[in-house]
Chain A
Amino acid sequence: MQTDRITGATLIMLGSLLIWWIIPWQAEEVGYGWLRPRTLPYIISAGLFFCGVWMMLRPVAEGLTAANWPRAAIYAGILVSGLALMSLFGFLWVAPPMALVLMLVVGERRLLWLTAGAAGTPSAIWVCVAILLERPLP
């Protein structure tokens, strides 16, 4: 119930933010035409606002999926760091250590599977994409 109220309040804030700030800033004002650039975004933002009000007034006590937020944040951090490093060194050099770190954080310690994940999969991807398909890796 409490989560629904908080989520509802967030949607109200998001709707308001869109209506009062983001749409006027990021969508041009046009004085002609049947469907102007701001019209549909305004309607949808108002819809978000009312969904938020609805959730605050009539909260339900179900539907949440249990999530391990700290662990998920660690994995998301590894992926974002991997992307940043890929922009500097490329997929070929970053994918093996990234896969290795991910598997170690999961708790994998068996050498065979660590090798398969950190060396086997990136190599197979390289062969399929760069050699067979002749497409560039990121």
Chain B
Amino acid sequence: MFDTATILAGLGDVFQLMTLLYVLAGVIMGQFVGAVPGIGPVMATAIAIPFTFGMDPLAGIGFLVGINKGGLVGGAIPAVLINTPGTPDAAATALDGYPMAQQGKPLKATKMALYSSVTGDTFSDIVLITVSAPLAILSLRMGPVEVMGLMLLAFAVIASLMGASIARGLAAAALGLLAAMVGTDPEHATPRFIFGNFEVYDGLPLAAVAIGMLAISELLFRLARTRSAQAATIRIPRDQPSEDRRVSFAEYWACRFTMLRGAVIGTLIGALPGIGSTAAAFMSYASAKQVSPDRASFGRGNIHGIAAAESANSAVMGANMIPMLTLGIPGSVSAALIVSAFMIHGVQPGPFLFEQQGRLIYGLFGAMILANLMNLLVGQVGMQFWVRVITAPESFVLTSALLLCFVGVSLAAGGLFGIGVMLAFAILGFVMTAFGFSVVVFIIAFFLGPRFEISLSQTLALLNGDPLRLLDYPFGFVMIVTAPGLAVWLARRSA
């Protein structure tokens, strides 16, 4: 499709000093904001876009890509260290990362998160670079029926594996779907469950609900449990052996299939617009747990749990670019923001992008791979810093985390109203957790709810009242029919 000169020129562009520095700055900023609950890479990208106006297109887009990739690594830090995932996609990482940190191995847990995140991300970037066009065509063939089937499958897997029982898992999913219905319904645009409050016309803000349910409710649990204000948030033994502070190559290699599986799941889900990294992380986690001979150790600090979640949620990022670059369809909010940056720089994403801007695109690919390497290097230093921060007393760390959540949600979800929503859902999350309902299932259902309702509506329109027409969509049919049986089977296996 291109001559070698275009590819080499594009890859060479990324090695200009200013471009390298902007990518590095993006990675550092992304890792930092990713570690702050509520702000996250999406918001950082939105804030950073105006700063790219004056930059060279490759430097500007590389800077934004760096923020996104850094944010993926940064998001795992609070999830592992204080069990308060800043974004829903890091919630799966906390399941095993936090228990491992509590065992006095926070550095090992964060490093495994870093390595598996970079591995998953690099895998999806390679897929993007090599087979983006055929994958985009495949993802376009996934119509509403297939997307709805995939979501049903995701609900079934997640609801049956999380929480104390399958009834609780399903109830948590139902509550999440109900919360997702606040606002206007997608088919008729009539208001639902707004109780006269027009601020929720567009639905409840995701950041406020997610931070409230995942982070604030956990902080409330931690604060209520704290017995000694002088205790460090995490105790690291003074005579800790060096193997508890690092991930050996043997440990990394032992997780290769888990990471590969996670990267494949993340890449496939990332290629489909709108499903997102949260579902990918949990599906990967669930599959790693199912195939493991030591299922009981999951949720108690199993390194494979971290590898599964991080490789999948990071793989989504590169794959999100597949429909964006080839078809002009952004696969996520981050990808949509990068599309806007492309347009600001006079570049129109879509089928002709590779022909018209081949050099820029290969430069971008080079920047993505470089950002992964920088993520690895910056992460090595950054993890040491965060692990030191976390040895401060709980009273300081938890209070500071609360203030950061207040500000983060205020910025992301519309001021004091967003904070009010966050606190309401924090109380709901606290009650749900106390009674054995998984807040993670709630959040995933809440996140996928609007897309699920649209897909269901479109599916019903396609079927035109005739259920037998479902047979015209074999992949969707199989997924829809399999979902309930799979839920029961998984629940029995994990019981």
Contact residues of A with B, CB < 8 Å? 3, 7-8, 11, 18, 22, 26-28, 30, 33-37, 40-41, 44-45, 47-48, 51-52, 54-55, 58, 60, 62-65, 67-69, 71-72, 75-76, 79-80, 82-83, 86-87, 91, 95, 98-99, 102-103, 106-110, 113, 116-117, 121-122, 125, 129, 133, 135-138
A-B contact pairs, 11 of them (CB 8 A): A34-B461, A47-B170, A51-B167, A64-B436, A67-B224, A67-B430, A67-B434, A91-B406, A106-B394, A107-B226, A110-B230
Residue in B185, B226, B400 whose beta carbon sits within 8 Å of that of A106 in the complex: B226
Q: Are A108 and B436 in contact (CB under 8 A)?
A: no
On whether the beta carbons of A60 and B193 are closer than 8 Å, the reply is: no
Contacts of B430 in A (CB 8 A): 67, 72, 76
Partner of B165, one of A18, A60, A108: A60
List 6 A-B pairs, minimum CB-CB distance, nearest first: A63-B164, A63-B436, A108-B395, A107-B229, A34-B460, A138-B410
Contact check, B403 vs A113: say whether CB atoms are below 8 A apart.
no
Q: With A80-B423, A109-B229 given, can you name 8 additional A-B contacts, CB distance below 8 Å?
A: A28-B190, A35-B457, A37-B190, A52-B171, A62-B164, A63-B436, A107-B226, A116-B396
Q: Is B195 an interface residue (CB 8 A)?
A: yes
- Contact status of A138 and B460, CB under 8 A, knowing A67-B434, A72-B430, A103-B229: no
Take A34-B187, A75-B224, A125-B404 as given contacts and tell me if A133 and B47 are in contact as well, using a CB distance cutoff of 8 Å: yes
Q: Are A30 and B399 in contact, with the CB atoms below 8 A?
A: no
Interface digits, B202-229 against A, CB 8 Å rule (1 contact, 0 not)? 0000000000000010001101111011
Please count how many residues in chain B sit with their CB below 8 Å of the partner chain's CB atoms: 64
B171-203 interface (Cβ within 8 A of A): 171, 174-175, 177-178, 181, 185, 187-188, 190-195
B residues with CB within 8 A of A = 47, 163-165, 167-168, 170-171, 174-175, 177-178, 181, 185, 187-188, 190-195, 216, 220-221, 223-226, 228-230, 392-396, 398-400, 402-404, 406-407, 410-411, 415-416, 419-420, 423, 426-427, 430, 433-436, 453, 456-457, 460-461
Q: Smallest Cβ distance from A40 to chain B, in angstroms?
A: 6
A117 with B223, Cβ < 8 A, contacts A40-B181, A91-B406 known: no
CB-based nearest B residue for A59:
B165
Q: Of B396, B420, B456, which one neighbours A40 at CB under 8 angstroms? A: B456
Min CB distance B295 to A, Å, is 16
B489 to chain A minimum Cβ distance, whole angstroms, is 17
Contacts of B163 in A (CB 8 A): 63
Q: Which residue of B lies closest to A83 (CB)?
A: B419
Main secondary structure of the interface of B (DSSP, over half): helix
Chain B residues with CB under 8 Å of A79's CB are 216, 402, 423, 426
Scoring A36, A62, A65 by chain B CB atoms within 10 A of each residue's CB, the highest score goes to A65
Contact of B187 among A35, A55, A68, A129 (CB under 8 A): A35
Docked Cα-Cα span, A98 to B400, in Å, equals: 11
**B221, B395, B406: the one within 8 Å of A67 (CB):** B221
Bound-state CA distance A60–B491 (Å) is: 13
**Which of B177, B187, B223, B230 is close to A75, meaning CB atoms less than 8 Å apart?**
B223
Inter-chain CA distance A36–B453, complex, in Å, is 10
When C-beta atoms are compared, the residue in chain B nearest to A125 turns out to be B407
CA distance A87 to B247 in the complex (A): 47
Max chain A C-beta neighbours (<10 A), residue from B229, B427, B460: B229
CA distance A67 to B223 in the complex (A): 11
Contact indicator B178/A103 (Cβ below 8 Å):
no
A18 to B220, CA, bound (A): 29
Closest B residue to A30 by beta carbon equals B188
Minimum CB distance partner of B226 in chain A:
A106
- Smallest CB separation, B393 vs chain A (Å): 6
In the complex, what residues of B have CB within 8 A of residue A45's CB?
A: 174, 178
Closest to B393 in A: A113
**Please, which residues of chain A bring their CB within 8 A of the CB of B461?**
34
Q: A18-B178, A48-B174, A64-B436 are in contact. Are A122 and B403 (CB under 8 A)?
A: yes
Beta-carbon nearest neighbor of A47 in chain B: B174
Interface pair A44/B174, CB less than 8 Å apart: yes
CB atoms of B229 and A108 under 8 A apart: yes
Determine the distance from Cα of A3 to Cα of B167 in the docked complex, in whole angstroms.
14
Inter-chain CA distance A135–B403, complex, in Å, is: 16
Closest B residue by C-beta to A103:
B395
Known contacts A95-B406, A99-B399, A135-B411: does B187 contact A33 (CB below 8 Å)?
yes
Question: CB-nearest residue of chain A relative to B48?
Answer: A133
B279 to chain A, nearest CB (A): 19
| Docked pose: A100 CA to B398 CA in angstroms | 12
In the bound complex, how far is the Cα of B398 from the Cα of A121, in angstroms? Answer: 11
Known contacts being A33-B188, A63-B168, A76-B220, is A125 close to B403, with CB within 8 Å?
yes
B185's contact among A37, A67, A113, A117, by CB below 8 Å, is which? A37
Q: Of all chain B residues, which has the CB nearest A106?
A: B395
Contacts of B392 in A (CB 8 A): 113
* Contact present for B399 and A103 (CB under 8 Å): yes
How far, in Å, is B420 (CB) from chain A's closest CB? 6
- Report yes or no: B223 in contact with A83, Cβ–Cβ below 8 A: no
Q: Which residue of A lies closest to B176 (CB)?
A: A44
- Is A137 a contact of B192 with CB atoms below 8 Å? no
The docked-state distance in angstroms from the alpha carbon of A55 to that of B187 is 34
CB-based nearest B residue for A102: B399
Contacts of A55 in B (CB 8 A): 165, 167-168, 171
**The one of A54, A63, A68, A117 that contacts B400, using a Cβ cutoff of 8 Å:** A117
**A55 CA to B435 CA, complexed, in Å:** 12
Partner of B406, one of A27, A113, A138: A138
Q: Which of A69, A109, A125 has the most CB atoms of chain B within a 10 A radius of its CB?
A: A125
The answer to whether B416 and A51 have CB atoms under 8 Å apart is no
Q: Which residues of B contact A99 (CB under 8 A)?
A: 399-400, 402-403
User: With A113-B395, A138-B407 as given contacts, are A83 and B416 in contact (CB-CB < 8 Å)?
Assistant: yes
